[in-house]
A and B are shown apart, each in its own frame.
Chain A
Amino acid sequence: MGLKEKLHGIKEDFKGKKMAPAFNALHTFLYTPDETTHSGGHVRAVDDLKRTMNTVIMALIPVLIWGIFNTGYQHYSAVDAAQGVIREASLFGNFFTWDNFIMGAWTVLPLVIISYAVGLGVEFIFAVIKGHEVEEGYLVTGMLVPLIVPVDIPLWMLAVAVIFGVVIGKEVFGGTGMNILNPALTIRAFLFFAYPTWMSGDKVWVHGAKAAEGGADAISGETILGAYAQNSSVVYDFSDKFFGFIPGSIGETSTFLIILGGLFLMFTKIASWRIILSAIVGAAVMGLIFNGVVDQGWIGEGNTFYGLMSTPFWEHLVIGGIAFGIVYMATDPVSGSQTNTGKYWYGFLIGFFSIMIRVFNPAFPEGVFLAILLMNVFAPTIDHYVVQANVKKRMKRLKLKTA
């Protein structure tokens, strides 16, 4: 008797029992079920939710791997810098090294494991209690969460945040497909407001910086946005920023890999190109407005906003988490706009507000996650007006006929 038949037997045993969803969730990972069509059409396309989610995860893997190496790299280069040694980034010279990998994996993988274990645990419990199948929504959220937090966040904090995010952000609304806010961002927002000292400042972005704070061998780990917000000079050149040899949240640093992931998602039709494109346009427009303001001389060099306002608009797209947010989180179909016309507005406003919040809130310079959460709330409103246009057209037609 093969594995397939054995598992089928267990599935039959579980049928109708409380734990059935839990077993089925594991079973369907190994085998797509033997379910056949019962109503309507007799054939179905091959895409299911697992495949959809899996595609997003595939697009996230390169970013995760880069994040692991970069965590190690940033740590060692910060340690060097504290001793006065300045490093020149080189991909195979000092980036893809065994030391970096071990250091990075040792810090990042626990975050991934905690995120998945806690989040899926909550999902399983809810599925068993409510008697429905375990939905795949958390597969992507679970991967996003470790990528958008600072490296040194304590694991218990992450666990608390994940429970909050999944229960309050998703399950209370009815589970996957019903939530209003992006669960991954709900988790980050919770961390951001509950434990602000762990989420911002110049000590959280490099592994070991927080622990070494105040000691003799203190190391710095300021992000570029932080440096701009302080109006201080930035030590990284463009290729560092673009390819990602910079400190930051684990997944956000390499704009290059994020662009590749975004192209893959758009090509596979999993992510909406409408949202991505219009978000980039929106961010560029806001950036250009600020650049124009600076060019006009309305904002002097001494102004608090000068640093970020004078940043060229295209550079805004490369630094910070905006690229990551646009590609992987603004495109969440559940919390985003659901109509094609609405998606243009939704994306544009995310880009627009991201840069605005980034510039005007120098204490917390990362605006993209607040912008996405804000637009999550307004997405149904956007859709409402888009759909109403269709409804009005129908009413007008009726009036013409009856008049």
Chain B
Amino acid sequence: MSKDIKIKRGLDIKLVGEAEHIISDAPRSRTYVIKPSDFHLVTPKMLFKEGATIKAGEPLFYAKKDPSIKFVSPVSGILREIKRGAKRVIVSIVIEADGRDTTVEFPMLDVNTADAATIKERILESGLWPFIKQRPYDVIASTKTEPSAIYISGHNSAPLAPDYNFILQGKEAALQAGFTALSKLTSGRIHLGVAQVANSVFSKLSNVEMHTVVGPHPSGNVGTLINKVSPINKGETVWTITPENLAIIGELFITGKFNSERIISVSGSRVKAPKYYRTKIGAEVSTFAYSAGIEGDNVRMISGNILTGNQVSAEGHLGYYHNEFVAIPEGNDYEFFGWNKPVFNKISSSRALTFSWLFPNKKYDLDTNTNGEHRAFVVTGNYEEVFPLDIYPLQLLKACMVQDLDAMEALGMYEVAPEDFALTEFVCVSKQPHQAIIRKGLDLMHEEIG
């Protein structure tokens, strides 16, 4: 029953340090942190003061614009600190875990018989709503609009990405409950993109339209799936959610509890023993990073994917949406004649004395050097080679930079998220910050139109 989507334009970035298929328990983290900046455009309103005792699954704050969207604590313990930045913006909320994991409990709910209103209400009050994102704008889904469809990518084609078939093993029932629950919240269908149907955790699911997406990255991006199935039109809203978060929603209905457990991949060339760890949302990075071992000190640590994640320190914490941790060497060094000598150890999309085209299967050890300075857009045609959406990437980026809302709308801004531009950013000869440009453009549209 699956439909095939074939992607030709794209680029598989093959890196060393892929996680081995072993799951270890990460040492328990002492503190857990929720950063409101993970929830784009959400202004938090705190429900507790510092020093309060919190249960796991208990709301910590709600969104100022929509009080029904609550954000909950991943663990039980004491709300130790509310860190504030400039203009008293809440930067992070620190919870000191008590290790007892007392969890807020909801009555179990049979998703097959429950109606849409009950399901929606349960997701909202349990604080799991933030897992559901919407397009346009790539923000937490609005509670007021009904999505025309829901898209989920069960195939992560990004470099060093965790293998869904591995981390979701044994979660089939939870996934099914999640799919059934969400299918009631839309008049349309739930579309699921997978690399292959056979032997995957998704193979036995019902209530879902299955698509096989074949090709290089970004074949696993949900934006690619949407664009190939049914591109978003003006005025339409679709929801997206990642499979691991869908499983968490499913588990809520089955067990009545918010399970904040995350199986994360710890990978990258600077990780001594790259493998998977069982930890919790918001856990301290050092717990799993130092357990796997980090080589050297000049290391970039990333919470999330190497193409889209955030830089963290060892004392930092895992992002709310993230299920991977990557450590790669920092590239803060000069390279003698780096711009004209032949290059064998870095990836290139051209063949200008760069030889990565000769070794399509070689795995590279890339560092964070930009390999050049920021310039105006000059080269054309290279973004299109890695950009499978039916959109003109260069023209859309330029429309964002000059804040031309009409052009942004006409060129397909409603269909994209920053992550769709991760590859064009990677190959950009002018080293322009594509994802930041798109994010700013989306924010502007959200403010002016949305």
B336 pairs with A45, CB closer than 8 A: no
- A177 is contacted by which of B354, B378, B412, B426 (Cβ under 8 Å)? B378
Any A CB within 8 A of the CB of B102: no
Partner among A54, A338, A394 whose Cβ is within 8 Å of the Cβ of B412: A394
B335 CB contacts on chain A under 8 angstroms? 31-32
Question: If A41-B308, A43-B368, A52-B352 touch, does A390 touch B346 (CB 8 Å cutoff)?
Answer: no
Interface of B toward A, CB cutoff 8 Å: 13, 15, 231, 233-236, 300, 302, 306-309, 311, 326, 328, 330-340, 343, 346-354, 356, 366-382, 384, 390-392, 394-395, 410-412, 418, 421-422, 425-431, 433-436
> In angstroms, how far is the closest chain B Cβ from the Cβ of A223?
33
Question: What's the nearest-Cβ distance from chain B to residue A70, in Å?
Answer: 27
Contact indicator A35/B411 (Cβ below 8 Å) = no
Chain A residue at minimum C-beta to C-beta distance from B369? A36
* A398 beta carbon closer than 8 Å to chain B: yes
- List the 8 shortest-distance A-B pairs measured between CB atoms, nearest first: A48-B372, A177-B376, A32-B338, A40-B435, A31-B334, A50-B339, A46-B346, A41-B307
Task: Report the separation of the CA atoms of residues A390 and B436 in the bound assembly, to the nearest whole angstrom.
Answer: 24
Residues of B within 8 A of A197 (CB): none
A28 within 8 A of partner (CB): yes
Tell me whether B381 and A133 are in contact (CB under 8 A): no
A188 to B369, CA, bound (A): 39
Contact of B334 among A8, A55, A176, A269 (CB under 8 A): A8
Binary B-proximity of A53-87 (CB < 8 A = 1, otherwise 0): 01100000000000000000000000000000000
C-alpha spacing A269/B340, complex, angstroms: 16
Which chain A residues in 257-279 approach chain B with CB under 8 Å?
267-270, 272, 274
Given A41-B307, A44-B425, output 14 extra A-B contacts at Cβ < 8 Å: A29-B339, A37-B370, A42-B368, A43-B426, A44-B369, A46-B347, A48-B429, A51-B372, A135-B376, A269-B351, A338-B381, A340-B384, A393-B390, A394-B233
Residues on B with beta carbons closer than 8 Å to the beta carbon of A47: 348-350, 352, 354, 371-372, 427, 429
In the docked arrangement, what's the CA distance between A177 and B390, Å? 25
Q: In the assembled complex, how far is the CB of residue A307 from the closest CB belonging to chain B, in whole angstroms?
A: 38
- Complex Cα distance, B377 from A137, in Å, reads 11
Nearest Cβ on chain A to B294's Cβ, whole angstroms: 15
Partner of A39, one of B339, B380, B435: B435
Q: Which of B308, B376, B391 contacts A390 (CB 8 A)?
A: B391
> In the complex, how many angstroms separate the beta carbon of B13 from the nearest chain A beta carbon?
7
In the complex, what distance in Å separates the CA atom of A39 from the CA atom of B421? Answer: 12
Contacts of B338 in A (CB 8 A): 31-32
Q: Residue among A48, A178, A393 with the most chain B CB within 10 A?
A: A48
Partner of A46, one of B332, B371, B425: B371
- Given A35-B369, A133-B374, A397-B233, the answer on whether A269 and B426 have CB atoms closer than 8 Å is no
A28–B370 touching, CB < 8 Å? no
